[in-house]
Homo-oligomer: A and B are copies of this chain.
Amino acid sequence: MLDASASAAAFPLGGIGTGNVSIGARGELRDWELANRPRKGGRNPFSFVAIHVAPEGGEPLTRVLEARNRPPHEADQGYYAGDVAGLPRLADTRMHGRYPLLELDFVDDVLPVEVGLTAFTPFVPLDADDSGIPCAVLRYRVRNPGTAPVRVSIAASLGNPIGAGDTSNVFHFPDIEGRPRIGARDEDGLRGLWMTSDLADDHLGHGTVALTTPDASGTAKPQWLYGFWQDGAQQFWNEFRTDGHLAPESVESMDPPPHPDWMSKLRVGSLAIEHELAPGEERDFEFRLTWHFPNRPRGWAGNIIHDDPNIGQVVRNAYAARYPDAWAVARDLDARLPELEATTRAFVNALYDGSMPGAVVDAVGSNLAVIRSSTCFRFDDGSGSGGTFAAWEGSFDHVGSCEGTCTHVWNYAQSLAWLFPDLERSARRTEFMLETRDDGRQNFRTNRIFGSPAWDFHPAVDGQMGSVLRVYREWLLSGDDAFLAEVWPALCHALEYAFTEWDANGDLVLDSKQHNTYDIEFYGENSLANSMFYAALRAAAELADHLGEPERAARWRDAATVGAERMDALLFNGEYYQQNIADVDAQRYQYGSGVLSDQLLGQLLAHVVGLGHLFPAEHAKSAIGAVFPHNFRSDLSEHESVQRTYAMNDEAGLVLCSWPRGGRPRIPFVYSDEVWTGIEYQVAAHLIYEGLVDEGLTVVEAVRHRHTGGNRNPWNEVECGNHYARSLASWALLLALGGQHYDASRGALSFAPAQPGAFRAFFSTGTAWGRVEIDDDALTLLVDGGELDLRVLRLHGRVLTPDPATGPPLSKTLSAGSSTRYSTTAS
């Protein structure tokens, strides 16, 4: 629970690939990034909500529905004019975000009513479309605790953001392309503000925005006065503070014409809902913000891929194929909101109300914001299948961070695969159908999704092996043989490439120049690259078996076995796996005898897809176990790093590498002293898989203690950019703690909780999601969405049979709403 002092907190609203607006800890709308680009700190002037309350027989009171701004008060003109910071506000808030659902209560002694805000964008597991609606529901709940009736008016004001660039200069010379307008609109059972502009349909900034309510009461001022000064704001406030009513302006501006071109560009409108509340009455005042900015740049225009010949052209967002404009979004939302909200709440309950440790649920749930942040997008590829998924690594404040759905970063992500598996399959198709060359070398950033030339750079050993492994994950979750058949030839090439490119001496232990997720090359044998190699070999062997290619399967499985034995013999130092390198300073950026947190990344990923141990189990446990004491610091005050800083002072965190036995290179790899949440999560999940549950949870708690609103945003784990994809590794915690695994081809679902005691958790497969409840030998599945093909169910490896009283037989599809009990006792 946060209060208004949590200045770093920003709870993002918005769907997959739609852009966002966030709610800050004061209850304010902030970080306007609706139009297909990151825009942290982005302002939309005069976009705020205010309340007018008139108790019968008492003094009316008008307040902005935000807690007061907290110091420092530093801007070079006091405050941004569009914030109307000089209007009176409330004392405090209590903010409780369980992504994707925000509840925020306003705290104030003066206001005669109690006010809370519920805000969300529908989130439907397994349905990227219904989780990708460009909208935000803002529901203000007002209660009259007094003994006299109170007339309440709540007005939402909104600047027309279409075409807006830098809006820091509010009144004079605002940077707005085109000519925005606002009209009143009342149809489809909705009334509200309809925001348009005259930008051409294929203009990058083209769009529409609607602020609507199904509530028929109240008044509106579709367009404030514009002018050289703040006449519009003054006039709005004059009216609203008087009686809570608004009226359309009779003129557009009080400034005498002619008006300079810029003057009429900033358009603001207000929509009020008004009700009288009897003593004790509670009532919702609901606004819905919908938007529609169909056009994205056709190309990355990022900081790595510069050869986008199509820059200046646009592609269309996937949502634009479903909705012609923002009013259509509003209409669809209105029609389906009860169902969409019920599903959203069911997901929230399933995820957050279980028995898993709070920090884990928090880590899993909060980072889902990545999927719906500016880091990810979907564009209409004309296939009619929902579009192509693509993503940055993260989002800098004003531009995507590194581009191209980077394989070695997305390697760590699990959440997307288990919630929106079709999006991960889209990414695999890109990697193998577009970005794997004839010789098997894979471009680890995609540029060809835009029809642009392939990016020419080193291949990344970890990313490329990870892509192979992830095809296996996608296939396990979907059983999609067509998908598998589609990518299989390229997958084989990509895997074989490792033998020829990275294994110079042919001993099945990769040893050549190995570009990797640290943006440098490792030389010599190391367990990061090789654990990825062996995991990929074993995964591909499983797939080869399924495809009836037993020779291939056997060769890869043998290579994994032999290679892993050799690597273990070469690199295990009795405690952990180190790098085999003669002179650690001969090349810069190596780690040598260091304890690398990622040393067994491939092993973790193998656990996630149920491949078991690649190396001797006791060595794997020893190695990941060594990471904890050596790399986890309960206090970083004495830590020395000239690299990037994501954890500091008395905070705890897991560093990427340490050298307890000495041998630190003069210039170690360039991120060695950093703390990345994505790696903390993969290490924590691995610790749990190896039975070191307390150590894993300690790491997770450290991460989340660093994200408590006053220090950092709970809904934004930063690495190279906001909403960094690697943080989606957190889902592996859920998998590890539940021992959850699903194989769609066999209809086989299994659980193996890592801790004793009653277990309650969210579960998902590629086609169904819901809750699992485990008490001793009894397991209950409650399916909240989708359909589950269930032919085998295991608990701690034992096959369960259904309870004859409640359960259907196995080999049965369970549909949403079914609650089915299984137990070992019946077997």
* Chain A interface (Cβ < 8 Å from any Cβ of B): 7-8, 40, 62, 68-69, 71-79, 81, 83-88, 172-173, 229-231, 233-238, 241, 254, 303, 394-397, 401, 520, 588-589, 637-646, 648-649, 666-667, 670, 673-674, 710-713, 718-722
- A74 CA to B31 CA, complexed, in Å: 14
Bound CA span A675–B172, Å: 21
Chain B's closest residue to A68 (CB) is B649
Nearest CB in chain B to that of A649: its residue: B68
The residues of B that contact A79 with a CB separation of less than 8 Å are 644-645, 648
Find chain B residues with CB under 8 A from A643 CB. 86, 230
Closest B residue by C-beta to A668: B234
Beta-carbon contact of A640 and B76 below 8 Å: no
Q: Check A77–B234 contact: CB distance below 8 A.
A: no
- List the number of copies, as a whole number: 2
Q: Main secondary structure on chain A at its contact with chain B?
A: loop
Contact A640 B235 (CB under 8 A): no
Q: Quick check: A76 and B641 within 8 Å, CB to CB?
A: no
Q: Please, could you name 14 A-B residue pairs with CB atoms under 8 Å apart, sorted by A?
A: A74-B713, A76-B396, A78-B646, A86-B643, A87-B640, A87-B641, A88-B637, A88-B638, A229-B520, A230-B670, A231-B588, A233-B642, A235-B667, A237-B642
Cβ of A718: which chain B residues have Cβ within 8 Å of it? Answer: 74-78
In angstroms, Cα B87 to Cα A397, docked, is 24
**List of B residues within 8 angstroms of A640 by Cβ:** 62, 86-88, 237, 241
Residues of B within 8 Å of A173, CB to CB, are 303
Output the residue of A85, A648, A674 with the most chain B CB within 10 A: A648
Task: Please give me the residue from chain B that is nearest to A676 by CB atom.
Answer: B78
Give the 10 A-B CB pairs with smallest separation, nearest first: A86-B641, A233-B642, A71-B711, A85-B645, A8-B72, A86-B645, A78-B646, A79-B645, A229-B670, A78-B645
What residues of chain B lie closer than 8 Å to A666, measured between beta carbons?
A: 234-235, 238
CA distance A270 to B538 in the complex (A): 53
Please measure, in the bound complex, the distance between the C-alpha atom of A303 and the C-alpha atom of B40, giving whole angstroms.
26
With a cutoff of 8 Å between Cβ atoms, the chain B residues found around residue A83 in the complex are 645
Docked complex Cα distance between A624 and B570 (Å): 88
Q: How many angstroms between the C-alpha atoms of A382 and B181 in the bound complex?
A: 54
Most buried by B among A77, A84, A401, A646: A77
Whether A648 pairs with B86 at a CB distance below 8 angstroms is: yes
Q: Residue on B with the closest CB to A75?
A: B718
Assembled-state Cα–Cα distance A188/B637 (Å): 41
With A78-B646, A85-B645, A87-B641 already in contact, 18 other A-B pairs whose C-beta atoms are closer than 8 Å:
A8-B72, A68-B637, A71-B710, A71-B712, A73-B648, A75-B718, A76-B722, A77-B718, A77-B719, A86-B642, A172-B303, A173-B303, A229-B670, A230-B643, A234-B642, A235-B666, A254-B588, A254-B667
Contact with A395, one of B68, B76, B234, B710 (Cβ below 8 angstroms):
B76
Nearest B residue to A709 via CB reads: B72
- A645 contact set on B, CB distance < 8 A: 73, 78-79, 83, 85-86
The docked-state distance in angstroms from the alpha carbon of A187 to that of B71 is: 48
C-alpha spacing A644/B718, complex, angstroms: 33
Contact call B710/A72, Cβ cutoff below 8 A: yes
Q: Contacts A254-B588, A254-B667, A667-B231 given; indicate if A648 touches B69 (C-beta within 8 A).
A: yes
CB distance from A354 to the nearest CB of B (A): 30
Which of B68, B73, B642 contacts A230 (CB under 8 A)?
B642
Smallest CB–CB gap between A800 and chain B, Å? 46
A69 to chain B, nearest CB (A): 7
Question: Whole-angstrom distance between the alpha carbons of A84 and B666 in the complex?
Answer: 18
Question: What separation, in Å, do the CA atoms of A69 and B85 have in the docked complex?
Answer: 27
Do A721 and B76 touch across chains, with their CB atoms under 8 A apart?
yes
Question: CB distance A7 to B230 under 8 Å?
Answer: no
Pick from A233, A520, A643 the residue with the most CB of B within 10 Å: A643
Which residue of B69, B77, B237, B673 contacts A644 across the interface (Cβ within 8 Å)?
B77
Point out the residue from B69, B238, B254 that lies within 8 Å of A649, measured CB to CB. B69
Q: Report the minimal beta-carbon distance from A6 to chain B, rounded to whole angstroms.
A: 9
Residue of B nearest to A720 (CB): B77
Q: Determine the residue in chain B with the shortest Cβ distance to A588.
A: B254
- Whole-angstrom distance between the Cβ of A90 and the nearest chain B Cβ: 10
A303: chain B residues at CB < 8 Å are 172-173
Residues of B within 8 A of A720 (CB): 77
Distance from A46 Cβ to chain B, minimum over Cβ atoms (Å):
9
Task: Tell me the complex Cα distance, A8–B644, Å.
Answer: 24
- By beta carbon, the residue of chain B nearest A61 is B638
CB distance from A384 to the nearest CB of B (A): 36
* Closest CB in chain B relative to A266 CB, distance in Å: 14
A395: shortest Cβ distance to chain B, in Å?
Answer: 7
* A667 CB contacts on chain B under 8 angstroms: 231, 234-235, 254
Which single residue of chain B is at the shortest CB-CB distance from A644? B78
On chain B, the residues within 8 Å of A722 by CB distance are 76
A644, B230: Cα distance in complex, Å: 10
Q: Given A69-B649, A229-B670, A670-B229, decide whether A644 and B76 contact each other with a Cβ distance below 8 A.
A: no
Tell whether A639 pairs with B88 under 8 Å between CB atoms, given A645-B78, A718-B76: yes
Query: Which residues of B are found within 8 Å of A674, using beta-carbon distances?
Result: 78, 86
A173 to chain B, nearest CB (A): 8
B642 and A712 contact, CB distance less than 8 A: no
Give chain B nearest CB distance to A220 CB in angstroms: 19
Residue of B nearest to A71 (CB): B711
Complex interface: chain B residues within 8 A of A710 (CB) = 71-72
* Cα–Cα distance between A643 and B68 once the two chains are bound (Å): 16
Contact between A712 and B397 (Cβ–Cβ < 8 Å)? no
What is the CA–CA distance of A71 and B647 in the complex, to the nearest angstrom? Answer: 11
* Closest partner residue, chain B, to A62 (CB atom): B640
Within the assembled complex, what's the spacing in Å between the Cα atoms of A562 and B465? 94
By beta carbon, the residue of chain B nearest A672 is: B234
Minimum Cβ distance to chain B for residue A506 (Å) = 28
**Which residues of chain B are within 8 angstroms of A75 by Cβ–Cβ distance?**
718
In whole angstroms, what is the CA distance A712 to B233 when docked?
Answer: 26
Of A394, A401, A641, most B-chain CB atoms within 10 Å: A641
Alpha-carbon distance between A641 and B641 when the two chains are bound, in angstroms: 47
Partner of A72, one of B7, B241, B401, B588: B7
**A642 to B: closest C-beta gap in Å:** 4
Question: How many angstroms from the CA of A79 to the CA of B673 in the assembled complex?
Answer: 14
Q: List chain B residues, Cβ under 8 A from A76.
A: 40, 394-397, 401, 718, 721-722
Q: Which residues of B contact A649 (CB under 8 A)?
A: 68-69
Report chain B residues within 8 Å CB of A401: 76
A640 to B62 alpha-carbon distance, docked (Å): 9
**Cβ contacts under 8 Å, A713 to chain B:** 74
Q: Which residue of B lies closest to A255 (CB)?
A: B588
Question: Closest Cβ of chain B: how far from A108's Cβ, in Å?
Answer: 11
CA distance A86 to B83 in the complex (A): 34
Asked if A81 contacts B644 (CB within 8 A), the reply is: yes
CA distance A78 to B711 in the complex (A): 11
Give the chain B neighbours of A40 by CB distance below 8 A.
Answer: 76
With a 10 A CB-CB cut-off, give which of A8, A74, A233 has the most chain B CB atoms: A74
Which residue of B has the minimal Cβ distance to A304? B172
A81 neighbours in B (Cβ, 8 Å): 644
A731 to chain B, nearest CB (A): 23
On whether the beta carbons of A73 and B638 are closer than 8 Å, the reply is no
Say how far A724's CB is from chain B's closest CB, in angstroms: 9
Q: Bound complex: CA of A648 vs CA of B69, how far in Å?
A: 9
List chain B residues, Cβ under 8 A from A84: 642
Question: CA of A445 to CA of B641 in the docked complex: distance in angstroms?
Answer: 51
> How far is it, in angstroms, between the C-alpha of A165 and the C-alpha of B254 when the chains are bound?
41
Smallest CB separation, A300 vs chain B (Å): 16
